[in-house]
Amino acid sequence: MKDSSDPTSEPVAQNLIKLISNVCFSAFVFAVLIITVVAVTYKPPDPWLESAPALAQLFTRTQNATFRDDGSILKTGEDVGFSVISPASSPASSQAVITEAVVEKAEERIENSTEGVETSCDVLVNCSDPRVLIAIERFNLRAFRSIAFVGYRSPVNGSKPGECDVGWKFRNKKENSWRKYWDFRRYEIGFGEKCSYKILHLGGWHSGVNARLPKMKSNITRSGKKPKVVTQVRDDEINDTIPILGSATKFRKGRYLYYSRGGDQCKGMNQYMWSFLCGLGEAMYLNRTFVMDLNVCLAAQYNPSNKDEDGKDFRYYFDFEHLKESASVVEEGEFWADWRKWDQSHKKKVPVRKVATHKVTPMRLMKDKSTIIWRQFNSAEPDNYWYRVCEGPAANVISRPWHALWKSKRLMNIVSEISGQMDWDFDAVHVVRGAKAVNKELWPHLDYDTSPDAIFAKVQAMVKPWRNLYVASNEPFYNYFDKLRSQYKVHLLDDYKELWGNTSEWYNETKVLANGKAVEFDGYMRVAVDTEVLYRAKTKVETFHDLTKDCKDGINTC
């Protein structure tokens, strides 16, 4: 037995412990170093796609007429919250949302001002009595929980005694924009306890015609000049006018980023947005004004003619007013006109830096002093796609400003009309069929799983009978959903054709933009409206989540 007092036994044990401690500490330090390096150098992939090959694959795949090929809802800036948008800086910040507490304070002020005044239930309802508006406000807060009220007009008399028409301004709680919409309703009003006003009946969407907003003449055209056809429009909050620089001197003092047309033209709208926001993001990074072409070539997949159609206006699809407020932009026609004026009146030409390839990164252009940086996309596809500028190292410095891109207010007015006609209380089923239902190789069960009987059985298990049921689908046959009509109040987009027909406000407003020519309600407009209504439903029945076990992108991709 070894003597515990042996002088060699203690150092060996201590040395072994020290050795193990040093190894562990070294491993810990090395791990911390690795994590630190990764944290500093790693840039997460763009939230849209993870790689350039994946991006190219998405943009070259076939899309159906109503939804993106993966079946998900197309979203723009008003559908997603962004930290760069400050509610305090929004136009709506000066107009507080009307809540129950706000109504109670207003009611308290009215009671204090009328203290000692006797009220009688024998008199007729007086629509100008402020207590009428209080009763309506309180009723609306209970009846419409999915919208936020931001203003009321004074009630006016309806068509007969006991009726009051009221117009009110609102925002949708599911929309992260500050845009406001109008409704005007007719209320049948009686008396409750202690002769207080009581709502007996609420009219439908836009039923209070006496409270309708006065019509205003539009002067909005592509060039900002007087339109050929003067029409009347309802929504006076839309400002689609094109900003004008004003003078050659002001033009020369500016700094511009100009993208020539490339291979993105006439591609799907997803690629258009992806590329457009790349250019706009680079302009923001370079602190320059982005020169944008309002002319959009709509891909064949969105057109009944099945042909690409050039000459569409950006303002048909997107909110140009919000874009002007969110970024520095100038319309291409105005830009060229001011450029020519300068060159004609000055011997010294405007400094221009022409960039022939997307491989010249935004970082290399950061210190360029030229008035105009002109990116030219003359290569063969896919090297002439705008979004190539934002690939590689540029992806670490260019942020696509999704917050600047909202859907057209005119299209969103239609969304509000449809939702309002269902009193903001509806469910929805999204039925993807089209080419996917035909392709049994990739989606073997989709056709059967979206048959009328299968849809009915699934919806019946998720939605209560006789609810308003909105069907968002690319199925072309209107009567395909008759089975659902036996148990539900079914609504399809085509049930609301009058909202874009030749007597509608949308028709008149877009006709002004087109200098007097009628504008077709095309496939992409259907995309925007159909999916936004679906987005507002209380219960959503999805194709690739509820109706079928097939994968969105084909077999073995779930």
Strand ranges inside 376-454, DSSP E: 427-431
Residue 222 within a domain: no
Question: Are 487 and 505 contained in the same domain?
Answer: yes
Domain total of the chain: 3
Asked if residue 87 is part of any domain, the answer here is no
- Residue 56 inside a domain? The answer is no
pLDDT at 293: 95
- Please report how the helices 269-286 and 52-60 are oriented relative to each other, as an axis angle in degrees rounded to 10: 140
pLDDT band at 229, cuts 50/70/90? very low
**Mean of per-residue pLDDT scores for the chain:** 84
Q: Evaluate if residue 362 carries a pLDDT over 50.
A: yes
Please return the burial class of 180, using the count of CB atoms within 10 Å of its CB with bins 0-12, 13-18 and 19+: buried
CA dihedral 447→450→456→461, nearest 10 degrees, is 120
pLDDT over 50 at 300, yes or no? yes
Indicate the burial class of 368 (C-beta count within 10 angstroms; 0-12, 13-18, 19 or more).
middle
The three-class DSSP label of residue 466 is coil
8-state DSSP, 190: E
Confidence class of residue 334 from pLDDT cuts 50, 70 and 90? very high
Position 314 pLDDT exceeds 90: yes
Specify whether the CB–CB gap between 155 and 166 falls below 8 A: yes
pLDDT for residue 60 is more than 70: no
Strand order in the sheet with 372-375: 329-331, 289-292, 256-259, 372-375, 352-355
Asked if 277 and 183 sit in the same domain, the reply is no
Region 283-294: mean pLDDT is: 97
How do beta strands 289-292 and 468-473 pair? Answer: unpaired
Structural domain of 464: 409-547
Same domain, 420 and 533: yes
Asked, for residue 280, whether it belongs to a domain, the answer is yes
Q: 314 and 348: one domain? A: yes
Within this chain, do residues 388 and 424 fall inside the same structural domain, yes or no? no
User: What pLDDT score does 220 carry?
Assistant: 47
- Beta-carbon count within 10 A of 440 CB: 12
Q: How many Cα atoms occupy the beta-carbon half-sphere of 183 within 13 Å?
A: 27
User: Within this chain, do residues 373 and 480 fall inside the same structural domain, yes or no?
Assistant: no
For residue 42, what pLDDT is reported? Answer: 44
Is 44 among the domain residues?
Answer: no
Q: How far apart are CA 344 and CA 355, in angstroms?
A: 24
Mean pLDDT value across residues 171-178: 86
The encoded tokens of residue 293 equal: 């072409």
The domain spanning residue 381 has which CATH number? 3.40.50
Domain boundary among 381, 404, 427: 404
Question: Could you tell me if residue 4 is inside a domain?
Answer: no
**Do 459 and 393 share a domain, yes or no?**
no
Cβ atoms of 162 and 188 closer than 8 Å: yes
